Amino acid sequence: MIFFSLLAALALEHYRPLARPLPHFEYFARLAALLRERLDGGEAFHGVVAWCLGVLPLVFLVWLVGDWLAGVNFLLGWAWGVGVLYLTMGLKYYSRIAEGIADRLRTARMEEARAELQAWRGGDAEEFGPREIASATIEQLFAHSHRQTFGVLFWFILLGPAGAVLFRLASVLSLRWNEASPPFSGAAVKLFHVLNWVPVRLTALTYAVAGNFEDALYCWRTQAQAWPNAEEAVAMTAGAGAMGVKLGQPLMVGGQWQERGEIGLGDEPDADQIDSANSMIWRGLMVWMVLALLFMVAGLAA
């Protein structure tokens, strides 16, 4: 039923795309801020306790409701899973933002493109030129497609709706607690690393299959160490290699150059490359759907 769940979630996204801001994640962000404020005592143990309080009750609740609904009626349990996947995945949500930035770049509406990018990624983008805007947008696409699509799908397949919520909330906390004390935030980062190790490599393989396989693996092997965010390095380098674009490179932020390693091969990023990245992500999702369909058919035939 994974195939039909994914198909239904994508249909929901097409006809009722999630709108910004996402209320359910805003509520969770407030909870995350409250837990950090009350429990950050500068110890790793405090971070583990806060993580468990923030994540496990919600994961258990999602599992409990799904199990109860499935006991009442199989279709109710399936519909619950589709709804959870729809609210945690959000592929259309971020792909539409990237499409908007690409359109603004094509029509030379630079201020609007910077504002849209800044609202999406945070941080300062006031001094970004067309190349920097396109590069940062593609990087955001790769990061979100992993954290909000392929990683979520992996854990949905493994543990059902509770797995999707587990991965998504762990991903949010690993980012939201960056400003906490290192021992406290380190707990969330390490826990997400454990959950993320297999999915991020499957995402990289997905990009490779959907794009240039050989270049994707080459960039993955040789450039991952150059990327400052270790959790994103595998998917980011494989994605850049798969679509043949150069990402990274220094960015001017707040009047100072932010040094980053160059990743990828081929062309400089532009508006067309943003569209190419979007297309590759959708092709990758089609790969997952085909595999889900094949496994379903094999299960029926067994």
Q: What is the pLDDT of residues 225-258, one digit of tens each?
A: 888 888 889 999 999 999 999 998 766 555 556 6
Q: Which helix (H) or strand (E) holds 110?
A: helix 110-121
pLDDT in tens, the chain (302 residues): 788 999 999 888 888 887 766 788 888 989 999 999 998 888 888 999 999 999 999 999 999 999 999 999 999 999 999 999 999 987 788 888 899 999 999 998 999 999 999 888 877 777 788 888 999 999 999 999 999 999 999 999 999 999 999 999 999 999 888 777 788 888 899 999 999 999 999 999 999 999 999 999 999 999 988 888 888 899 999 999 999 999 987 665 555 566 677 898 988 899 999 999 999 999 999 999 999 888 888 877 76
Q: What is the pLDDT of residue 257?
A: 62
- Please enumerate, as own/partner, the contacts of 118-125 that have beta carbons within 8 Å and a separation of 24 or more: 120/94, 123/253, 124/253, 124/254
Distance (Å, whole) CA 271 – CA 186: 36
Q: What is the pLDDT of residue 72?
A: 94
Which structure tokens are listed for 89?
């995945």
Distance (Å, whole) CA 235 – CA 145: 9
Distance (Å, whole) CA 256 – CA 30: 31
Which structure tokens are listed for 192?
């997400």
Task: Locate the DSSP E strands across the chain.
Answer: 246-247, 251-253, 256-258, 263-264
Non-local (6+) Cβ contacts of 14 within 8 A are: 92
Which structure tokens are listed for 9?
């979630």
